[in-house]
A and B are shown apart, each in its own frame.
Chain A
């Protein structure tokens, strides 16, 4: 299978869903909310670090720019991606203070994620492995609560 053309939004959408599923698996649950912090300094610093370290495996992360002229690196593209993911129903922000977001996990999310992994990476094991590390990092560094 020829890998599908992806961009940063595709990659992050899939990584967030994959990370959320991993948390639910750890907790032996099929569904529920897995909240990622949306605290701007933490979110943007983490994604800048991820972009810098994974851009060789995923050149599409180069779409994210992080202004280095402020108290924390800030990416307008990342903000736009999260806005689009909300509009498209991939993430939800239904929490009291809107300082967190959660990938929407449905009964068939795991099948969809598996399908997209195949579409995105085909037989490219190296890229797939890099992706799994990236998703793990998102989980470890940004997940604030799962219930």
Chain B
């Protein structure tokens, strides 16, 4: 992709090209063994290790995988670097399992019947090359992350040129990738990146020619979940899809490091995952997709979904984690709207050369200099109120629709998706704060979104015969759990800095504001009264 991508790529490289060289360069000739807490003994090829030694990868050691979760779960300090190593393993093991089982149950009945075969799995040289590209895609897939991972992504996704690049991709592929994924695409499709990779490939005695510019274009698209070639779609699915290796790793890793005793049976998953041949009758197009068979894979799918749901309940939606993330997000938004800087950085591209430690450095000796950095030191607001829609509207009242409308207006305010929306949200929060006699930025209103299960709904599960298929939603009642979780466990919260008496004043102001909207904040919804 050219046009705006060329200009963006040039700007990115200006900021990060120094991260693509290391002196002296690595000179591994044999595979390297690395022990991982989740996957055990893992092997990495010499050219992969050469890439891992580049500062652009080493930077990932300093990015926390679960953002501010470490403020609540002190052991959740695991890094993007660890996760990336795990995704390489997960992706390889899925691919190897499919190859090993292709003649038996690695292919669904429909895939076995499809004409033309599947050389990406069954032709040894073709499969070996795909395996190399797959592992490289897994290796690079998170290079687009920055401060505290997804927390800063919500902000930089709104900064030019990301909105334009994402819109261009949507026009071409009808898909909206995340800004961090677009950043990876820009990086790996650059000449400088490919030169760095070529050097690592040569030193590591990679088999055959190094990945070409076309290969990197493809890898960049896989990271964004795009693969127009139906015969290779399942490979893209391993990197970015309903059952991708990313999910396999982070569900296991996040729970393990946070100390939350849930897990899923990776062995079971690997022994049942398969490739199915699917067609869209409306377009006549067909794809080979990564999926699970109804009769054997449902337990693996069930475990994966349940584990993720528990992680939402314990970790991602934990009130302190939400307080930290929402406060950090507001601080970054306020800073950008005021000064056009992000955590003190002048260009959006500078985000891709720093680590989380950048925030700590900003605090050092300058308390209060950068509110976004204070969060990293656990300077957090505390809960004032916690509620769900059904808690603040009166069931059966004559004006229930008006109440729901007002609640929704607030919730929309609390889920900003544009700079105008951020301005509206900050104005509302600051109005609450000033009415309570507090300074701007003291009140944070948080309306989390429901757990995101990506494209799980689009997963078609093949059966024992070519004609048998179902959607995951029809066969497994996972949507019951998610929807029940939404209804009962997703809380909106209002947080405030200050002392107990300050929070009491915010409560009073909030209660009056809600009353003006026809909503009732009953005393039981006040926290710590």
Which A positions have Cβ atoms within 8 angstroms of B? Answer: 5, 7, 9-10, 13, 38-41, 44-45, 62, 65-74, 76-77, 79-80, 83-84, 86-90, 93, 97-99, 104-109, 111-112, 116
Contact = CB atoms under 8 A, between A and B. Distances in A.
A113 to B, nearest CB: 8
Interface in B471-498: 471, 473-474, 477, 479-480, 483, 486-487, 490
30 contacts: A5-B420, A10-B412, A45-B282, A62-B170, A65-B176, A68-B174, A68-B280, A68-B283, A68-B285, A69-B233, A71-B289, A72-B280, A73-B280, A76-B452, A76-B454, A76-B455, A79-B453, A79-B457, A80-B449, A86-B487, A87-B449, A89-B408, A90-B404, A97-B480, A98-B477, A98-B480, A99-B474, A106-B401, A107-B400, A108-B401
A41 B390 CA distance: 31
A88 B415 CA distance: 12
A65 B407 contact: no
B425 to A, nearest CB: 14
A108 B400 contact: yes
A88 B407 contact: yes
A83 B83 CA distance: 28
Contacts of A87: 388-389, 411, 447, 449-450, 486, 490
Nearest to A74: B458
Q: How large is the interface on B (under 10, 10 to 19, 20 to 34, 35 or more residues)?
A: 35 or more
A65 B408 contact: no
A70 B175 contact: no
Nearest to B277: A71
Interface in B423-460: 447, 449-450, 452-455, 457-458, 460
Query: Which A-B residue pairs are the 5 nearest by beta carbons?
Result: A74-B458, A83-B450, A106-B400, A89-B389, A71-B278
A84 B449 CA distance: 6
Nearest to B398: A107
Contacts of B289: 70-71
Given A69-B228, A86-B487, A89-B408, 6 more contacts: A44-B457, A65-B174, A70-B287, A87-B486, A89-B393, A99-B474
Interface residues of chain B: helix, strand, loop or mixed (majority) = mixed
Interface in B357-399: 388-390, 393, 398-399
Contacts of A76: 176, 452, 454-455
Interface in B175-234: 175-176, 225-228, 230, 233
Interface of B: 170, 173-176, 225-228, 230, 233, 236, 278-280, 282-283, 285, 287, 289, 388-390, 393, 398-402, 404-405, 407-408, 411-412, 415, 417, 420, 447, 449-450, 452-455, 457-458, 460, 471, 473-474, 477, 479-480, 483, 486-487, 490
A37 B98 CA distance: 35
A74 to B, nearest CB: 4
A108 B402 contact: yes
Contacts of B473: 38-40, 99
A65 B457 contact: no
Nearest to A107: B398
A107 B401 contact: yes
Contact of B399 (A68, A105, A108): A108
Contacts of B417: 7
Contacts of B227: 69
A83 B486 contact: yes
Nearest to A108: B401
A70 B393 contact: no
B483 A98 contact: yes
A67 B479 contact: no
Nearest to B236: A69
Contacts of B477: 97-98
B85 to A, nearest CB: 27
Contact of A84 (B287, B393, B404, B411): B411
A130 B87 CA distance: 47
Residue of A66, A72, A73 with highest tally of chain B CB at under 10 A: A72
A74 B457 contact: yes
B401 A39 contact: no
Contacts of B453: 79
B411 A71 contact: no
A16 B71 CA distance: 41
B458 A72 contact: yes
Contacts of B390: 89
Contacts of B455: 67, 70, 74, 76
Nearest to B390: A89
A86 B483 contact: yes
A53 to B, nearest CB: 14
B417 to A, nearest CB: 8
A39 B471 contact: yes
Nearest to A80: B449
A29 B408 CA distance: 26
Given A69-B228, A97-B477, A112 B170 contact: no
Contacts of B404: 88-90, 104, 106
